[in-house]
């Protein structure tokens, strides 16, 4: 059966990064593995969790709290991952419209990383609940991801717009 959905270039890139680093099924979605796939240093300590980037060496870091339960799970760490993706770097000097665009792109990237295209079996029927359970995410995140895919399928089937040509 042909796939009813064609990912964007960014979505394909995220999936290929995951595949290249052995992240091929929902159980592999650990923050440490994802960070490694994108060249981000990940560690655990006893203090407050945070994320930062050193401008002099362009290195990026995510630091988790050792007391947080299931700290390696993306679903429990997703908020921090999302915050890291959106706020790593200095946005203080950038114009507001550019900052908003950057944050929108980061949120989209985070959705692609949370429920990667290559892990969805298009040969079986999914429900919102099954996606939530399989990927261990909230109703809101699962709905946003699936709704976005459905919107893209409708556009692609109507042939009115090919997003891939404009990325």
**For residue range 32-66, what is the model confidence (pLDDT) as tens digits?**
888 889 888 878 777 776 666 776 667 777 777 66
Per the structure, the count of domains in the chain is: 1
The answer to the question of residue 1 being in a domain is: no
**Full DSSP string of 21-79:** TT--SGGG-BHHHHHHHTTEEEEEESS--EEEE-TTT--EEEEEETTSTTTTBHHHHHH
The answer to the question of residue 2 being in a domain is: no
The answer to the question of residue 4 being in a domain is: no
The answer to the question of residue 103 being in a domain is: yes
pTM of the predicted structure, to 2 decimals: 0.73
Q: What is the pLDDT of residues 128-164, one digit of tens each?
A: 899 988 988 888 888 999 899 888 888 877 865 555 5
Domain around 154 = 9-166
The answer to the question of residue 3 being in a domain is: no
pLDDT mean over 90-98: 71
Q: What is the pLDDT at residue 74? A: 53
């Amino acid at each position: 059966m042909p796939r009813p959905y064609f990912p964007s270039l960014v979505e394909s890139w995220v999936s290929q990064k995951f595949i290249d680093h052995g992240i091929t099924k929902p159980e592999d979605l650990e923050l440490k593995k994802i960070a490694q796939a994108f060249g981000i240093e990940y560690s655990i300590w006893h203090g407050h969790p945070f994320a930062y980037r050193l401008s002099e060496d362009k290195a990026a870091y995510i630091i988790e709290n050792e007391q947080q339960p299931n700290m390696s799970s993306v679903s429990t760490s997703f908020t921090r991952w999302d915050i890291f993706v959106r706020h790593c770097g200095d946005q203080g000097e950038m114009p507001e419209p550019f900052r908003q665009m950057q944050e929108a792109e980061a949120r989209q990237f985070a959705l692609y990383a949370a429920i990667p295209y290559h892990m969805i079996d298009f040969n079986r029927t999914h429900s919102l609940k099954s996606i939530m359970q399989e990927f261990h995410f909230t109703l809101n995140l699962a709905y946003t991801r699936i709704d976005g895919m459905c919107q893209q399928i409708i556009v692609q089937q109507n042939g009115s717009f090919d997003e891939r040509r404009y990325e």
